[in-house]
Amino acid sequence: MKRILLFSLLLSFGNISISQWYETDILKESEPTSGGNVGSGVDISGEWAIVGAGENDEYGVNAGAIIFYKNVDGEWVEMQKLVAEEVEAGDYFGRYVGIDNHIAVAGSVCDGDFGDCSGATYVFELGDDGVWIETAKLMASDADAEDGFGMDVAIHGEQIIVGAPFNQDAGVRSGSAYIYEKTDGEWVETAKLVSADLDEEDWFGFSVDIEGDRAAVGAWLEGDEAYYGAAYLFEKTEGVWEEVAKIIPSELTGSFSIDIALDANHLAVGAADAVFVYDLSGAEVEEMVMLTASSEFADGFGTSIALDNNRLIVADAADDMIGTNAGAGYVFVLEDDVWVEKTMFFPSDPAIGTGFGEFRNIAIDNDYIFAGATGYDEWLPEIGGVYVYEYCAITPEISSAVSLESFGADGAIDLTVTGGVPDYTFDWDIDEAGDFDDDEDLADLSAGTYTVVVSDEVGCETTETIVVDSQVGIDELSEVVNVYPNPATSNLTIELEGVYTYSIYNLSGALVQQGQGNDTETVNISELPAGAYILQLLSNNQTLQLHLIKQ
């Protein structure tokens, strides 16, 4: 049977871009030392990132170190590795870090100026020459041995919060947190945060974060029932920090506040296998959702979390989906007041116990995610590293020229792909293989719906669904239509109940005449050259093709 290509048109069903992050690098220090645990702490701010190596031995056993990276033309480049001037063996300097703009902080939880593990936190600022320099050593005004000052740190603007979960004001390891603000060029302790209901072994200050005039403090072991934990919210009013809420999860769960994160309007609190998100935009703190892992292999969802502009990142260091304890990460996005899981991401070279996102070592800023992996050991045991993921801000765009089916399986799809990073690979759903080894274009298609996923060179993907329509006669329509005379010389009469569209094509597929009819319509075809044509009728989304002879 002769096949006739009727016509081609562009279908604009729209591209559905997958919200996807792809791994771009694994950051490893340029001169690694065994057991350095690079990635014990990570944070990002604009073009700069800080990575902690809390057990680095270069300056003494477990003295620690920090490494600064800069984004240079899309590549994160190691710029500077350093320790604070007074760091000694056993200080664990850099295990917890933070950065905002051109100021960075690093906890030194076992600094011993006021006794074993009284703790300290160092401040670094970026000089005009692009070099980071130490500008302050922060210690609690009432520092004492075993306070653990620096167990967690965070910075926003010129405000720093430091946790000291083993401070003993309200009993052994009841805990506290301290806020420092830069005044006349000096860092000044402006508040010591505690709560009236603290008791021994509450570990208040185990996790901390600060955002503008809000501070959040986790008390990991607070509670009278199975140590389920609590989070405390503080706000600064007229220069004074006051507690405004004590937050307990709607469902009792262990390790609540193992990690904690703030953005402008939300508080996220990590727990054992769950993350709770709270809305801070109203007069009261409102629990929005309890998020759990979608992976059936999860075993630690929530131990590391990060918030940035309505995006929540959650790590699970013990997830087994791609390998035993290889780890996994999740991206959630707030859409219409609902936190929606967008994607998961994984380390590219999983190994048992790499510590991927293991404990408060995940960060997000703009279009980058850093996930620390302290057990990464490509060269030496537990040298550590950081997996870097970038958001697919530019994905391939698809336009599709579709040839409609006329007589049997003779439809076709011709794709045009632009954007992203060539070269592209294609995966059509017709083979259900998911192997991205398909051709760009398809031919010999029957009528139906076809879905293609296009992936570019760096792994960004986009998906499009394309419909190939059928123009083979439809029984229901053919029974109620009457076309005469055929052959015709000058006028053609079409009888079909209701409103319909008629189109006449020559055998080359060119549209030569078109119009609309209602019930009975007389069509003047006197100007058409003698020959064979195809008459197409479209009514109620049904299409009928008839052969027409013009004499």
Q: What is the pLDDT of residues 85-104, one digit of tens each?
A: 999 999 999 999 999 999 99
For residue 427, what are the β-bridge partners? Answer: 453
One-letter identity of residue 399: S
Instruction: Give one word for 317, left, alpha or beta, with left for phi > 0 and alpha for psi -120 to 50.
Output: alpha
Tokens of 550: 């013009």
| CATH for 430 | 2.60.40
Instruction: Say what the pTM is.
Output: 0.75
Residue 59 lies in a domain: yes
For residue 48, what are the β-bridge partners? Answer: 45, 70
Instruction: Write the pLDDT tens digit of every residue in 190-223.
Output: 999 999 999 999 999 999 999 999 999 999 999 8
| CATH for 500 | 2.60.40.3080
Beta-carbon contacts of 9 under 8 Å, excluding residues fewer than 6 positions away, are 401, 402
Asked whether the beta carbons of 312 and 324 are under 8 A apart, the reply is no
- Integer Rg of the chain from CA: 32
**For 330-353, what is the mean pLDDT?**
90
Q: Provide the pLDDT confidence category of residue 228 given band limits of 50, 70 and 90.
A: confident
pLDDT > 90 in the chain, percent: 61
Q: For the chain, percent helix, then strand, then coil, each to nearest 5?
A: 0, 55, 45
Beta-carbon contacts of 49 under 8 Å, excluding residues fewer than 6 positions away, are 42, 43, 68, 69, 70, 71, 76, 99, 363, 368, 370
Domain coverage including residue 252: 19-391
Residue 449 lies in a domain: yes
Task: Tell whether 316 and 339 lie within a shared domain.
Answer: yes
Tokens of 63: 């003295």
Task: Tell whether 407 and 303 lie within a shared domain.
Answer: no
Residue with tokens 């009975």: 520
For residues 259 and 262, give the distance between their C-alpha atoms in angstroms, rounded to a whole number: 11
Q: Which pLDDT score is estimated for 265?
A: 94
Average pLDDT, the chain: 87
Residue 149 lies in a domain: yes
Q: Which pLDDT score is estimated for 7?
A: 28
Task: Tell whether 327 and 437 lie within a shared domain.
Answer: no
Of the listed ranges 184-188, 311-315, 432-436, the least confidently predicted one is 432-436
Of the listed ranges 36-50, 364-378, 391-405, 429-443, the least confidently predicted one is 391-405
Asked whether the beta carbons of 94 and 110 are under 8 A apart, the reply is no
- State the total domains in the chain: 3
Task: Tell whether 110 and 218 lie within a shared domain.
Answer: yes
Instruction: Write the pLDDT tens digit of every residue in 148-194.
Output: 999 999 999 999 999 999 999 999 999 999 999 999 999 999 999 99
Q: Which of 200, 259, 263 is nearest to 227 (CA)?
A: 200
| CATH for 328 | 2.130.10.130
Whether 412 has a pLDDT exceeding 90, the answer reads no
**For 433-448, what is the mean pLDDT?**
84
Taking the CB of residue 107, how many other CB atoms lie within 10 A of it? Answer: 31
Cα 416 from chain centre? 28
Omega before 422 within 30 of 0, i.e. cis = no
Residue 326 lies in a domain: yes
Q: Provide the pLDDT confidence category of residue 406 given band limits of 50, 70 and 90.
A: low
Count how many residues are written for the chain: 551
Alpha helix positions (H), 409-530: 475-478
Whether 534 has a pLDDT exceeding 90, the answer reads no
**For 335-347, what is the mean pLDDT?**
93
Asked whether the beta carbons of 125 and 182 are under 8 A apart, the reply is no
Omega before 485 within 30 of 0, i.e. cis = yes
Omega before 142 within 30 of 0, i.e. cis = no
Asked whether the beta carbons of 387 and 371 are under 8 A apart, the reply is yes
**For 134-138, what is the mean pLDDT?**
98
Asked whether the beta carbons of 218 and 206 are under 8 A apart, the reply is yes
Last residue of a domain, one of 409, 443, 468: 468
Q: Exposed, middle or buried: residue 109 (CB in 10 Å: 0-12, 13-18, 19+)?
A: buried
Q: Provide the pLDDT confidence category of residue 323 given band limits of 50, 70 and 90.
A: confident
Last residue of a domain, one of 413, 440, 468: 468
Whether 491 has a pLDDT exceeding 90, the answer reads yes
Tokens of 429: 């759903």
Calculate the CA dihedral of residues 227, 228, 233, 234 and round it to 10 degrees. 0
Task: Tell whether 403 and 540 lie within a shared domain.
Answer: no
For residues 307 and 43, give the distance between their C-alpha atoms in angstroms, rounded to a whole number: 11
Residue 268 lies in a domain: yes
Q: Which pLDDT score is estimated for 272?
A: 84
Task: Tell whether 182 and 280 lie within a shared domain.
Answer: yes
Q: Which pLDDT score is estimated for 281?
A: 93
Task: Tell whether 399 and 253 lie within a shared domain.
Answer: no
Asked whether the beta carbons of 329 and 338 are under 8 A apart, the reply is no
Task: Tell whether 323 and 430 lie within a shared domain.
Answer: no
Last residue of a domain, one of 391, 425, 458: 391
Beta-carbon contacts of 38 under 8 Å, excluding residues fewer than 6 positions away, are 27, 28, 29, 32, 51, 52, 53, 56, 67, 372, 374, 376, 383, 384, 385, 386
Task: Tell whether 411 and 494 lie within a shared domain.
Answer: no
Q: Provide the pLDDT confidence category of residue 1 given band limits of 50, 70 and 90.
A: very low
Task: Tell whether 401 and 380 lie within a shared domain.
Answer: no
For residues 120 and 84, give the distance between their C-alpha atoms in angstroms, rounded to a whole number: 11
Beta-carbon contacts of 415 under 8 Å, excluding residues fewer than 6 positions away, are 398, 399, 400, 426, 440, 441, 452, 454
Task: Tell whether 201 and 287 lie within a shared domain.
Answer: yes
Q: Which of 38, 34, 19, 99 is nearest to 387 (CA)?
A: 38
Residue 356 has what DSSP assignment?
B
Beta-carbon contacts of 77 under 8 Å, excluding residues fewer than 6 positions away, are 69, 70, 71
291 or 430, greater pLDDT:
291
Residue 2 lies in a domain: no
Q: Which pLDDT score is estimated for 369?
A: 97
430 or 9, greater pLDDT:
430
Residue 388 has what DSSP assignment?
E
Residue 1 lies in a domain: no
Calculate the CA dihedral of residues 25, 27, 28, 30 and round it to 10 degrees. 100
Beta-carbon contacts of 253 under 8 Å, excluding residues fewer than 6 positions away, are 228, 271, 272, 273, 274
Task: Tell whether 434 and 464 lie within a shared domain.
Answer: yes
Q: What angle do CA 73, 366, 32 make, to 5 degrees?
A: 60
One-letter identity of residue 288: M
For residues 130 and 152, give the distance between their C-alpha atoms in angstroms, rounded to a whole number: 26
Residue 3 lies in a domain: no
For residue 123, what are the β-bridge partners? Answer: 105, 136
Cα 406 from chain centre? 44
* Maximum pairwise Cα distance, the chain: 108
Whether 370 has a pLDDT exceeding 70, the answer reads yes
For residues 207 and 354, give the distance between their C-alpha atoms in angstroms, rounded to a whole number: 23
